[in-house]
Structure 1
Amino acid sequence: MAQQAYMTETDNGGSGPERPGARFRRLTNRLVAGWTGDRRIWRRGLVVAALAVLLALIMLLHAHIPNAIGNLGSLTDTFLPWLGLFVPVLLVLAFVRKSATALIAVLLPSIVWLNLFGSLISDKAGSAGDLTVVTHNVNADNADPAGTARDVAASGADVVALEELTTSAVPVYEQALDSRYRYHSVQGTVGLWSKYPLTGVKPVDIKLGWTRAMRATVTSPAGQVAVYVAHLPSVRVKLEAGFTARQRDKSANALGEAIKHEKLTRVVLLGDLNGTMNDRALTAVTAQMRSTQGAAGSGFGFSWPASFPMARIDQIMVKGIEPESSWTLPQTGSDHLPVAARVNVATSS
């Protein structure tokens, strides 16, 4: 069978085989048509260029955006990774405007975003570890708590923390989990299930007036670990008040103080903190602990809302322990995704 040849029009009006790369060159010529020899490419698109510089400054200096008006700084911190979506939009506008100035300016937010979040794109997960932990806000309105419990237990975790437990749902979770987890404790609306003995169990006062945090010592085969479970107060975004998070911030400071005075050197924090690692309001906690997702995860690990995750507000953090891997689990009956991590206790100090 004769080999088929792609044909293209020649200079003399005939046709002949199209050379490799010819289509790419034609596409390139179309894109730059009207650019060459046009001195206005440096004067056009100044508005687009200014927007690109502004976007770069917001991402670079986000920690300095004040919280005085509607906690605007914390709101920016929370959704900071999504600001990167404006980069391709500005790039398209720069091409449409045929502006060399705008194209160069768009490099600035691109570089800043990659500097902030580029490390999260790669897969940093390892294969080691001797303790697997899971945390899940199960949602007080969960219509299938038994199914949610089975889904979480199927992860094979050694330690499971659950938040937003209701009085009526606690027996359901206990019945579904007790066959796999010999030890457990529920304090207020948070609970901890473990394959290994729990001692030193107590509620942690996070200044709410009721219990939404607890602490326990897990004696694993690799050593003792202080495990904290916390569900910080929710935040709200309102037109008239902005990003309201005063009670969340107060509770975060109290939780940070409790962890600061922990006597054990190996500490794991599991819970729904209603804030991301970028949120400066959680500094009392994040300044002394590492995110397993940031250290050993793949991608951003967004956990909320489960139907279309936009932020990682469900956290696993460690101190004195080496993270090996971190990931999100499949959706359950909750509006949050469960998050999991494998850590190395034996080699940690």
Structure 2
Amino acid sequence: MTSPAPVPTLIQAPGRRLRLLSCNILAGASVQRYSDYVTRSVNAVFPGRSKMANLDALAELLSGFDVIGLQEADAGSLRSGFLNQTRYLAETSGMPFWSHQPNRAMARLAHSANGLISRLEPTEVIDHPLPSRIPGRGALLARFGVGREALVVVVAHLSLSPRARDAQLSFIGELLSDSPHAVLMGDLNTPSDSAEMRRLFARTALQPPTSVMPTFPSWKPRRALDHILTSSDITLERSWTLPQAFSDHLPLAAEIIVPAELAATAIRK
């Protein structure tokens, strides 16, 4: 986690807004149709100018947000030119704090990671491996504040299997069971009305989204696989997808209002 000189945050008075962004960036690769998975499969192995252009375009947008969760960011392998993409995006966008959670390494060819980029300084960041038959899924937990009064943000990328997702969401539910002020964001690979998501809502203070935001595939979104979920004491003012497609998922954004007592005590200024 980098720690340069503190910068002002958007929370300078109790109860102010925070802007959140969740984005599966596919290691910087651009996909505009299903056939690209085959015809541009070389992007899965080698770096290229288009990947850097994609990252630079995304970096231009990040300064408009306070907390960003990344999925499928490359931690530094052949396909990214051995570039830590989370760090690159944080530094290029001028955001002061970042952390990443490398998960699945495929020799030196590809190394996927969850990433956190923040304008706010976390008091703690913890990497949690998620249960899975095939290792390589994780949840990155950032805590802003101390104890039950902290704002807890979890960035996750879940499995394709419903059984694995159920186990992973159960694990995340345990992580958040004692956190009344929570946000879960990421590519959860399932709609919010699935059985495993309903069980998550039943065991935590997280609330189902009030509207469906399709994010996949990015060129013709039909499925709401990406989510920004908030606990009941956090007001979700609005959520929206960004029209720019930086991968095969559209970025999902949300604006929340943090409770006055939480903004006053849990979030460093």
Give the structure-1-normalised TM-score.
0.53
Equivalence map 1:1-349=2 (5 Å) = 130-140=17-27, 142=29, 143-144=50-51, 147-148=54-55, 150-151=57-58, 153-154=60-61, 156-168=64-76, 169=80, 171-178=84-91, 179-188=93-102, 189-208=113-132, 209-218=135-144, 224-235=150-161, 245-262=162-179, 265-287=180-202, 288=204, 289-291=206-208, 293-294=209-210, 300-319=212-231, 320-347=233-260
Higher gyration radius (CA): 1
Whose helix proportion is higher, 1 or 2?
A: 1
Question: Is the alpha carbon distance of 1:145 and 1:346 closer, same or farther for their aligned partners in structure 2, counting shifts above 3 Å?
Answer: farther
What amino acid does structure 1 have at the position aligned with 2:26? N
Deviations for 1:269-314, whole angstroms, at most 9, x for unmatched residues?
A: 11011111110122332333124x51xx5xx311111111111110
SS of the equivalent of 2:218 reads coil
Task: Write the distance in 2 (CA, Å) between the matches of 1:324 and 1:167.
Answer: 33
| Residue 151 of structure 1, CA deviation | 2.4
Is the CA contact (8 Å cut-off) linking 2:86 and 2:117 kept in structure 1? no
| Residue 175 of structure 1, CA deviation | 2.2
What amino acid does structure 2 have at the position aligned with 1:198? P
Question: Is the alpha carbon distance of 1:149 and 1:271 closer, same or farther for their aligned partners in structure 2, counting shifts above 3 Å?
Answer: farther
Is the CA contact (8 Å cut-off) linking 1:145 and 1:173 kept in structure 2? no
Q: Unmatched 5+ residue regions in structure 2? A: 1-14, 30-49, 103-112, 263-269
Question: Is the alpha carbon distance of 1:129 and 1:343 closer, same or farther for their aligned partners in structure 2, counting shifts above 3 Å?
Answer: farther
SS of the equivalent of 1:161 reads strand
Task: Write the distance in 2 (CA, Å) between the matches of 1:204 and 1:284.
Answer: 20
| Residue 152 of structure 1, CA deviation | 5.6
Task: Write the distance in 2 (CA, Å) between the matches of 1:145 and 1:318.
Answer: 32
SS of the equivalent of 1:144 reads helix
Deviations for 1:120-141, whole angstroms, at most 9, x for unmatched residues?
A: xxxxxxxx95100000011146
Task: Write the distance in 2 (CA, Å) between the matches of 1:177 and 1:213.
Answer: 19
| Residue 203 of structure 1, CA deviation | 1.0
Task: Write the distance in 2 (CA, Å) between the matches of 1:206 and 1:172.
Answer: 22
What amino acid does structure 2 have at the position aligned with 1:336? H
| Residue 205 of structure 1, CA deviation | 3.2
Question: Is the alpha carbon distance of 1:341 and 1:163 closer, same or farther for their aligned partners in structure 2, counting shifts above 3 Å?
Answer: same
4+ long deviations beyond 6 Å: none
Q: Quick one: percent identity of the two aligned structures?
A: 28
Q: Which has the higher contact order (CA 8 A, sep 6+)?
A: 2
Is the CA contact (8 Å cut-off) linking 1:146 and 1:173 kept in structure 2? no
Task: Write the distance in 2 (CA, Å) between the matches of 1:255 and 1:230.
Answer: 9
| Residue 211 of structure 1, CA deviation | 4.8
Q: Unmatched 5+ residue regions in structure 1? A: 1-127, 236-244
SS of the equivalent of 1:204 reads strand
Q: 2:108 aligns to what? A: none
Superposed CA RMSD in Å reads 2.4
Task: Write the distance in 2 (CA, Å) between the matches of 1:149 and 1:249.
Answer: 35
| Residue 218 of structure 1, CA deviation | 3.1
SS of the equivalent of 1:268 reads strand
Deviations for 1:195-231, whole angstroms, at most 9, x for unmatched residues?
A: 1102211112321334521101136xxx842110000
Is the CA contact (8 Å cut-off) linking 1:161 and 1:270 kept in structure 2? yes
Whose strand proportion is higher, 1 or 2?
A: 2
Task: Write the distance in 2 (CA, Å) between the matches of 1:200 and 1:305.
Answer: 34
